[in-house]
Amino acid sequence: MTRILLPLAFLFILTLALNACRKSQDTGNGEQNPASDFQGKGGIYYLGSADIPVNEAAYANPDIAGAVVRFKWETLETSPGVFDWTFIDGEISKAKANHKKVSLQVLGYPSWVISALGAASYSYIDKNAYHATYLDTLQDVIPWDDTYLSRISVLTGKLADKYAADTTVAYLNLIAGQISRGLPDSVITTNGPRAFYTLYAYNADTLLAKMKPLLDLYMNRFPKTPLWNSIDYVSFETKASGRAVNYLCSQYTAYGSAAYPDRFGCWREDLSACNPQPTVQPGSQWYTMAQNSTRTGAQMLWNVQDGPERMNKCGVVPATKQAVLDSSFNNGLRLGMRYFEIYGADLQDASLSSNIAGYNQILRSKYAY
């Protein structure tokens, strides 16, 4: 499939014209959402690697609003209750010096939750060909295990103690990504593979009931800092319950956006030239995003330095770095996104600098940074 791309300059003019009419926004499915109370900042955020410092020059880039500070939970909390804040504090210091913001994102879980504290776990085969662990047997924690959930509570509280009053921290990305992302179709047992939902007591409503108090805790401890919530599908939901794969995320989003309209944000990690399509099915996670288009942001699926093959599975032409990145950005704009995480490799590419500058102009015309 080939997509026709609007020239970026024309899109900028169109965006400025539409900006005067922001009392309603299209969801991408022909429906209208009222203007949001969401207070999240806009802009382009530099996306680097977990636990790797972002260089000073990146923070100085006038076309970015800040950086995504990604860190593994295990490198922050090295053992139960023992925290090393060096990496995060260093990034915040660089952001402050350059009058930029940071978005803090927690990745993974600490192995000691299972090995030392006894949280329930399962084993599975990694089937993502883009992972370094592709086809390896991995262990993960049962996300509704009470021991595990209690440690998310502790982590949230400690992050709040450090950063709830720090205005350089524009967002945190926490809770939903630790619970509902990446639930596997099958797990490994002594008798061979088994469907995850048949072996463990998965129930979306039960899991939702455990997620809500963690969201409430965050909102109580971070009264001014918006939260990015990963809007994820559960691949086996229809088999398990007969409901759509976006049932859990749609119910969680309905609760969060109603209870905390100023700080509940919806985030995805796979924005690309081909994703999302202009029309999405009601059962899709992207449909949930579209229904909340005034409070959305996303991470680019990948950079455009590889051809750009991975970011252009649908055959956008011309298949140049510039056209593919433009198409990806336009897809986000169509959903009302104010926040874009773009890989550092693309932000440092001189051939993309005018594209990035154009994106920055569009976002600055619409949102506070």
C-beta separation of 87 from 51 below 8 A: yes
Tokens describing residue 37: 């109370």
Is the pLDDT at 132 greater than 90, yes or no? no
Label residue 357 by pLDDT band (50, 70, 90): very high
Q: What is the pLDDT of residues 112-125, one digit of tens each?
A: 999 999 999 999 88
Report if pTM > 0.85. yes
Label residue 126 by pLDDT band (50, 70, 90): confident
Domains for the chain: give ranges and CATH numbers.
8-363 (3.20.20.80)
Q: Residue 124 gets which letter from DSSP?
A: E
- CB neighbour class for 205 (10 Å; exposed up to 12, middle 13-18, buried from 19): exposed
Is the pLDDT at 220 greater than 80, yes or no? yes
Q: What is the mean pLDDT of residues 276-294?
A: 95
* Alpha-carbon torsion, ordered 75, 79, 85, 87, to 10 deg: -10
Q: Please give the mean pLDDT across all residues of the chain.
A: 91
CA angle 162, 165, 166 (to 5 degrees): 80
Buried b (16+ CB within 10 A) or exposed e, 258-268: eebeebbbbbb
Q: Which residue in 87, 93, 94, 95 sits closest to 70, CA to CA?
A: 87
Parallel, antiparallel, or unpaired for β 339-343 and 43-47? parallel
Q: What is the mean pLDDT of residues 175-201?
A: 93
* H or E element in which residue 297 lies: strand 296-300
Cα 195 from chain centroid (whole Å): 27
Long-range contacts of 253-260 (CB under 8 A, 24+ apart): 253/229, 253/288, 253/291, 253/292, 255/208, 255/212, 255/215, 256/215, 256/229, 257/292, 257/295, 259/215, 259/216, 259/219, 260/215, 260/219, 260/227
Cα 119 from chain centroid (whole Å): 25
The whole-angstrom separation of Cα 307 and Cα 315 is 12
The whole-angstrom separation of Cα 43 and Cα 65 is 5
* Least confident stretch, 2-11, 316-325, 353-362: 2-11
Q: What is the pLDDT of residues 245-273, one digit of tens each?
A: 999 999 999 999 999 999 999 999 999 99
% residues pLDDT > 90 (the chain): 84
Is the pLDDT at 29 greater than 90, yes or no? no
